[in-house]
Structure 1
Amino acid sequence: MLIDDEKPALMYLEMMLLTDGRFQVEGKYTSAQAGLEYLARSKVDVVFLDMDMPEMTGLEAGEHIQQLNSDIRIVYITAYSEYAIEAFEIHALDYVLKPIDPDRLAKTLQYIQRSIPDKTMKIFSKWRVRCFGHLSFEDGAGNDRQLKWKTAKAQELFAYLLHHRERWISKEILLETLWPDYPKDKALTYLHTTVSQIRKLVKEWQGQISLEYALDSYRLVLDGILYDVSEFERATDRGPAITEQNRLFYENIIALYRGDYLEGYDYPWAETLRSNLLERYLNFVIRAAAYEMEHGFERKALERLHFAEKKAPYSEEICRLVLTTYARQGEYASLNRHYDAFVKLLHIDLGIEPSQETISIYNQYV
């Protein structure tokens, strides 16, 4: 469980824990009192607890936690290292300094794993379902595995249920979406056959991936299996500003986008989310590149922007950032070539000229 009165810090810690994949976040609270009320009726193994909170200090909350259950491990989060000695006096397992460094957090998670007996700790494998690019599975060692789908419809049904994030989808909607041109009795037969195929295929996950049925509806449940789209959305939706401490974490988030959502599959139902995720990716890349340019990572920024350009070749914002990066590096020949190619692309493909803002920036640099 996580307790921190600063919501961005709370979300950032949750994202790092989810990305690590070994532990499940049972609850997160911006109020120590609300967290204690939860602990009074629920069981958790570890509490990440902020030291400096307005209603109750972390040390006071830690004492209450120990009274509730002395087996709970506490990891304190603090901006002040002098709290560390006092924290260990009340049996803290560890402490981490704000802003949280991913490498330091990894050591804390190792302490946790060593300190809790296997029988009391939920350790999930680092398997991940990937929908950026082709639908695939990544094992704990980072290797991609393609499942042997019996039919194309089995793959589509799996992807469609995954697309809806554990929401129940009625049989009627599934039939209308996946078998719209078949008589209902025949479509139902295909649905039941396809469901059976999927269940056989996911057996090896021993319940961590399951296809559930209730009230004439189905849903796909992932229990401890990571999902790249959810990871990406959490980071790009609520993540804190990019800093030197969390830059590598965001590198990993951007790296999740290995291609467009369900790229190469002609699924009409995926189009809206595909466009939304691409927009999120481009906005996030622009943020990351702007940070890298400001902090001396121009080469990395250029590499990132050139990849993004393949996804959005007509983006003037990306073009302007590329021009700015070349100018900062003094690479004016590259700047001119890039601008000329962009102007030509807009003219041939869209029949338009660059905006006045882009033209002004180019003229300023040359």
Structure 2
Amino acid sequence: MKAILIDDEKPALLHLERLLDSDGRIRVTGKFTSAREGLDHLLADKAEIVFLDIEMPEMNGLEAAEYISQIDRNIMIVYTTAYSEYAIEAFELNALDYLLKPIHPDRLSKTVERVAVYDQHKASRIEAVKPDDPQVVCFKRLMLADSSGSGGKLRWRTMKAQELFAILLHHKGRWIDRGLLLDTMWPDVESDKAVTYLHTSISQVRKVLKDWGVEAAVEYAQESYRLFAEGIVTDVEKFEREVGDNPVITEQNREHYERVLELYRGDYLEEHDYSWAKPRSGELLERFAVLAKAIADYEMKHGNERQALRSLVLLQEKDPYSEEVCRLVLTAYAGIGDFVSLKACYEAFAHVLKKELGLEPEPQTKRLYEQLMRKRD
């Protein structure tokens, strides 16, 4: 598990880091002497646990906890404090535990055990299979959930068998001409060998489906194949169904749409780099962008710029050349008064455009940047 440490006293940070390193069960990925620095880090790089000092200047730990819950409600918080009277208030803000300074190794070990138990219970709740839970993951990489719902344990005998299943799933329920399959998967192989490879791969796919134990089958008729799998739900299908054509974010459905956004773990079949999947990948990225911008727009209108940045940073990673997304990110940083990040964001965007596309930011983006920076002054 990954953790970050936030404490305005550097000796306390180093002491806690040494204790955690000695314990070995939690990996420290960041140390910060202000709550604001820690919050900015969480927007860019997730962590499962935050060890958070309560008494800090500018923003104390109790206030920071409220911002952390906006970034990700699943982050576990452990308070560190020299004042035991804060313990009750800490638990009222859903802290998992608290540690009194100076922190003793035995007490920290109990906290780490509590974290591990809580994480296991949380994982069990997440992995409990619901009727419409995706049995197949297509965002980022192709994975099949086994009958226990643990996910990703079934293995393909060959990469070609995996790709064949991906193509059949891509056209789920529709017939695919055998010639098209041969041209797509073995374009440079002589006909007889290609047919043999296809038959072998079909057999391997059928074996995986049998071992998988789901209601699915590869059917053949009139020189064509199709995957009959009405009982299989993919993360892509669930994502598209939930997003719809024009999502309207309200206070009542905001959390629902945030969970839908989390289905998009990466681009469609991204790690496999199938050329035939590129058009579909672009379509899904556009839907992701529509939802991410809708959520960010709602949050910014309601004064939750930090929460908006969570969606916008994800979107900018996927679409680094978008002028519109860049302007939204700049506006959000200005809204929280973080002009250092605002300047760094604009300069990084301009550098990427110049280096990779040979372009300058659009005049509208330049003007917005200059206007926002003048507000700082």
Structure 1 counterpart SS, 2:271: coil
In the alignment, which residue of structure 2 is the partner of 1:336? 343
Q: Which moved more, 1:200-209 or 1:247-256?
A: 200-209
Structure-2 separation of matches of 1:340 and 1:325: 16
Q: Residue 354 of structure 1: which of 328, 349, 361 is its match? A: 361
The aligned runs of 1:39-78 (5 Å cut-off) are: none
Q: CA deviation at 1:207?
A: 4.7
Contact 2:175 2:226 in 1 (8 A): yes
Structure-2 separation of matches of 1:244 and 1:140: 36
Compared CA separation, residues 354 and 127, structure 1 to 2 (3 A): closer
Q: Residue 163 of structure 2: which of 156, 160, 163 is its match? A: 156
1:136 maps to 2:132:
no
- TM-score for both structures, normalised by structure 2: 0.60
Compared CA separation, residues 141 and 359, structure 1 to 2 (3 A): farther
Structure-1 separation of matches of 2:212 and 2:356: 48
- TM-score for both structures, normalised by structure 1: 0.62
Structure-2 separation of matches of 1:288 and 1:124: 27
In the alignment, which residue of structure 2 is the partner of 1:177? 184
Structure-2 separation of matches of 1:191 and 1:276: 29
Q: CA deviation at 1:247?
A: 1.3
1:201 maps to 2:208:
yes
Compared CA separation, residues 248 and 140, structure 1 to 2 (3 A): farther
Q: Deviation per CA, 1:134-161, whole angstroms, max 9, x where unpaired? A: 1002458763314211111100000011
Q: CA deviation at 1:130?
A: 0.8
Q: CA deviation at 1:224?
A: 2.5
Structure-1 separation of matches of 2:258 and 2:211: 31
Compared CA separation, residues 210 and 125, structure 1 to 2 (3 A): farther
Compared CA separation, residues 225 and 293, structure 1 to 2 (3 A): same
**More relative contact order in 1 or in 2 (CA 8 Å, sep 6+)?**
1
Compared CA separation, residues 201 and 297, structure 1 to 2 (3 A): same
Q: CA deviation at 1:343?
A: 2.1
In the alignment, which residue of structure 1 is the partner of 2:243? 236
Q: CA deviation at 1:322?
A: 0.8
Q: Deviation per CA, 1:222-277, whole angstroms, max 9, x where unpaired? A: 23221111222233343541111111221122111101111121321111111222
Aligned alpha-carbon RMSD (Å): 2.1
Q: CA deviation at 1:200?
A: 0.9
1:186 maps to 2:227:
no
In the alignment, which residue of structure 2 is the partner of 1:269? 276
Structure 1 letter corresponding to 2:245: R
Compared CA separation, residues 305 and 143, structure 1 to 2 (3 A): farther
The aligned runs of 1:1-366 (5 Å cut-off) are: 124=131, 126-138=133-145, 143-366=150-373
Q: CA deviation at 1:127?
A: 4.6
Structure-2 separation of matches of 1:278 and 1:349: 20
Contact 1:129 1:228 in 2 (8 A): yes
In the alignment, which residue of structure 2 is the partner of 1:80? none
In the alignment, which residue of structure 1 is the partner of 2:96? none
Compared CA separation, residues 163 and 356, structure 1 to 2 (3 A): same
Q: Deviation per CA, 1:103-142, whole angstroms, max 9, x where unpaired? A: xxxxxxxxxxxxxxxxxxxx95735211101100245876
Structure 2 counterpart SS, 1:343: helix
Contact 2:146 2:154 in 1 (8 A): no
In the alignment, which residue of structure 1 is the partner of 2:123? none
Structure-2 separation of matches of 1:294 and 1:355: 25
Contact 1:126 1:139 in 2 (8 A): no
Structure 2 letter corresponding to 1:312: D
Alignment gaps of 5+ in structure 2? 1-129
Contact 2:247 2:294 in 1 (8 A): no
Compared CA separation, residues 363 and 134, structure 1 to 2 (3 A): same
Contact 1:124 1:224 in 2 (8 A): no
Identity %: 50
Structure 1 counterpart SS, 2:332: helix
Compared CA separation, residues 277 and 324, structure 1 to 2 (3 A): same
Alignment gaps of 5+ in structure 1? 1-122
In the alignment, which residue of structure 1 is the partner of 2:99? none
Structure-1 separation of matches of 2:185 and 2:132: 32
Q: Deviation per CA, 1:23-59, whole angstroms, max 9, x where unpaired? A: xxxxxxxxxxxxxxxxxxxxxxxxxxxxxxxxxxxxx
Compared CA separation, residues 224 and 296, structure 1 to 2 (3 A): farther
In the alignment, which residue of structure 2 is the partner of 1:57? none
Q: CA deviation at 1:221?
A: 2.3
How many residue pairs get matched? 244
Structure 2 counterpart SS, 1:211: strand
Q: CA deviation at 1:341?
A: 2.2
Contact 1:132 1:263 in 2 (8 A): yes
Structure-2 separation of matches of 1:319 and 1:140: 43
